[in-house]
Structure 1
Amino acid sequence: MPSSDFRDGGPPLSLDEAEDLLRCICFKTGPPRSVGVELEWFVHDLHRPRLPVPRDRLTTAFGALRALDLRSSLTFEPGGQLELSSPPAGSLAECVATVSADLAAVRAALAALGLTLTGSGTDPWLTARERLLREPRYDAMEAYLDRWGPAGRAMMRDSASVQVCLDSGYEEPGPLGFERRWRLAHLLGPVLVASFANSPGLHGRPTGLRSTRQSLWAALDPVRGTAPPVGREPRSAWAAHVLDAPVMCVRAADGPWAVPDGLTFRDWLRDGSPAGRAPTRADLDYHLTTLFPPVRPRGSHIELRMLDAQSGDDGWIVPLAVVSALFDDPEAADAAYRALAPLAETAGPLPPPGDAHWRAAVRDGPDSPVLHRAAVVCFGLAIDALERSGAPAAVRDAVGAFHERFVLRRRCPADEQRP
């Protein structure tokens, strides 16, 4: 079938067009005004969480949840994880209030069905989950990831995260400029992984890691879970990274989606024959969704994707508050960047998350002396910034309690889990 006939994909795309699109659509700049969060949760039996929930029971429950009047977007991951994605909020307080109300409605509806939500980077109890969603894209994704080992299936079915979304920032340089915010996100990444690590096991067994979830994302394939070199200009570095990443699958109107072997998007643009047709703008857009770096540019905002899902009803509020404070308060942003900049000098030759600090965050968490010292500084800056911004007292109290309970004691949530 000609590429222009595939759904609404449009005409074939040239390499120059793709490069221009990637530079324009992935980093749209402007004043930092909004914040958002995406929360993933495991769904367990309310009274017997160590037993798997049958597929038909989950399907019935998800049908009931879709009838709720929520402001957040409600979706489901391949292993049956529930995801709530907030609308962009004009303040941290607005974001917390919106998501808290939506979560309360979801929890109440699930409790009426004898189910509950569990916050953890990996399922703390169950063996490998069945794939609940049976769609061509997930069939193709699984087939591709299986070539690189078991991490892909575990990522799809057995992992959950907190993702914080922030505006890209100004075009101009400075603490709130997009280039500084891009670099700060990568410098802060291992500190956040270490501080909020909450996945010490997989399939009911300890792994010896603090953040098993982040280790899965880093092991998907040699490129898909990594970031471009952070020292380069972000737009050109990201465009090259996207074009040189392997194509996970080629969408089709009918039948299974093809899973090419070793075909980069750049190769596909130069010669469409290995994939059976030339790529279109829609193919580029879809390709972007199959890349899972720890920090992903999404037009007017960036996603910080490296955080494990957090325990408790409101554990997710702490990483959201800390990240937004460190990025949107100019004083805190500048101080955090200056404090973390030396990490780049000792990170090693690999781009994140392969460098030494990311590996230490996954393995050691706050036992890493460098990351522990950085966490103490960053949490202190965040607490001061939240005070200056007039953040709700409950949010400031939650951050302060986490600081006392974990950061100052050189612990992380994983230390309280027993897989």
Structure 2
Amino acid sequence: MALDIPGATGSRPDATPLDESGAEDLLRGICFKTGPPRTVGVELEWLIHDRERPHVPVGQERLDGAVEAVRALPLSAALTFEPGGQLELSSQPAGSLMECVATTAADLAAVRASLGTAGLAPVGLGVDPWQTPHRRLREPRYEAMEAALDRAGPAGRAMMCTSASVQVCLDAGEEEPGPLGYGRRWQLAHLLGAVLVAAFANSPFQQGRRTGWSSTRQALWADLDPGRTLAPGTGRAPREAWAAHVLDTTVLCIRCESGPWDVPEGLTFREWIRTGVPRPPVQADLDYHLTTLFPPVRPRGHLELRMIDAQSGPDGWLVPLAVATALFDDPEAAETVYRAVKPLAETA
């Protein structure tokens, strides 16, 4: 859930207000960048625990020192930290699965070694079984996000602060129909979602003590605002469906130049455009709004598969990355899997 937010540093927003058709054109233009599938990437989120005592919270000063050391590393991947202190490595697009694995593994080894000097370790679990949600980042956007998500109950804070995932990033696909066409790949990503959730469920949960294993990370997402976490409705072409979904989802918060960010209730982005209240939205607001949508598959030019729990062990992340890449980028495998799962979805 890394949030790369244009214009979120307090600078004055772009001055040109969006109109409805302009917003739709922008969304349709950026959601699917088509061409032969060639590149692959991965985003790895990790909980940060004491290496010897994972049940003991890591103190803020200790975590801050470890974060500063990790930020100084010469990594290929982009490095961000989540509201609860989770670490995220987002690889650069790689020309092959093996290239992605090699560069990401090297970055991860450097991060693990750096954290190790502070007695810490990156831990791959979908939900932290020991720590209660505690937000460490105190920026206005996280204050507003927490306030908005609290309306639906405690799941929002848990998602922000105690969850972690493996997100596989694949090219959208070709413009033409067929197994490698973007329309088929978009549909396949959603059809395979439940399979990937079940195959890689890795969320221990705690009720006084650890009692079992379940994909409780997915339960957290299910307890949030459904419009924010579900896939766009069917019945429209993918670009039109995504544009409508974005505009018809409620605004989580509205960026402010100073002071707390506004947290409207029940205001969709489309309604914000039409009313211009509390101020007319601009493109940077739309860019930010996109980062507050958490569907199982997010089209960002490429396809971002977001439904996989973080995986245990130093190399557990390799398996979902390899499986997803093989099922999508090999035309024969993609067609075989599509034919297998589509009837099941139709009868569900």
Do they fold alike, i.e. is TM over 0.5? yes
Determine whether 1:32 maps to 2:32. no
- Which residue in 2 is equivalent to 1:250? 254
Go from structure 1 to structure 2 and tell me whether the alpha carbon gap of 1:203 and 1:6 turns closer, same or farther (over 3 Å shift): farther
- Structure 2 CA distance, aligned partners of 1:205 and 1:234? 44
- Which residue in 2 is equivalent to 1:233? 237
Determine whether 1:188 maps to 2:192. yes
- Which residue in 2 is equivalent to 1:312? 313
1:197 to partner: Cα distance: 0.3
Determine whether 1:289 maps to 2:291. yes
SS class of match (1:224): helix
Contact 2:254 2:262 in 1 (8 A): yes
State, as a whole percentage, how many aligned pairs show the same letter.
70
- Which residue in 1 is equivalent to 2:7? none
Which one has the largest radius of gyration? 1
Contact 1:6 1:252 in 2 (8 A): no
- Structure 2 CA distance, aligned partners of 1:267 and 1:8? 19
Aligned ranges 1:91-170 → 2 under 5 Å: 91-126=96-131, 128-170=132-174
- Structure 2 CA distance, aligned partners of 1:212 and 1:228? 23
Q: Which runs of 5+ in 2 are unaligned?
A: 1-9
Contact 1:44 1:115 in 2 (8 A): yes
Go from structure 1 to structure 2 and tell me whether the alpha carbon gap of 1:6 and 1:134 turns closer, same or farther (over 3 Å shift): closer
1:202 to partner: Cα distance: 5.0
Contact 2:41 2:170 in 1 (8 A): yes
Q: Tell me the alpha carbon deviations over residues 353-386 of structure 1, each in whole angstroms, 9 at most, x when there is no partner.
A: xxxxxxxxxxxxxxxxxxxxxxxxxxxxxxxxxx
Determine whether 1:53 maps to 2:58. yes
Aligned ranges 1:278-357 → 2 under 5 Å: 278-299=280-301, 301-347=302-348
TM-score (norm 1): 0.79
- Which residue in 2 is equivalent to 1:12? 17
Go from structure 1 to structure 2 and tell me whether the alpha carbon gap of 1:65 and 1:192 turns closer, same or farther (over 3 Å shift): same
SS class of match (1:228): coil
TM-score (norm 2): 0.94
What is the letter of the counterpart of residue 291 of structure 2? T
- Structure 2 CA distance, aligned partners of 1:203 and 1:189? 27
The size of the alignment, in residue pairs, is 339
- Choose 202-211 or 220-229, whichever is displaced more: 202-211
SS class of match (2:73): coil
Contact 2:13 2:282 in 1 (8 A): no
1:25 to partner: Cα distance: 1.1
SS class of match (2:14): coil
- Structure 1 CA distance, aligned partners of 2:313 and 2:290? 32
- Higher helix proportion (structure 1 or 2): 1
Q: Aligned-residue CA RMSD in angstroms?
A: 1.5
Q: Of the two structures, which has the highest relative contact order with CA contacts closer than 8 Å and spacing of 6 or more?
A: 2
Q: Which runs of 4+ in 1 moved over 4 A?
A: 202-209
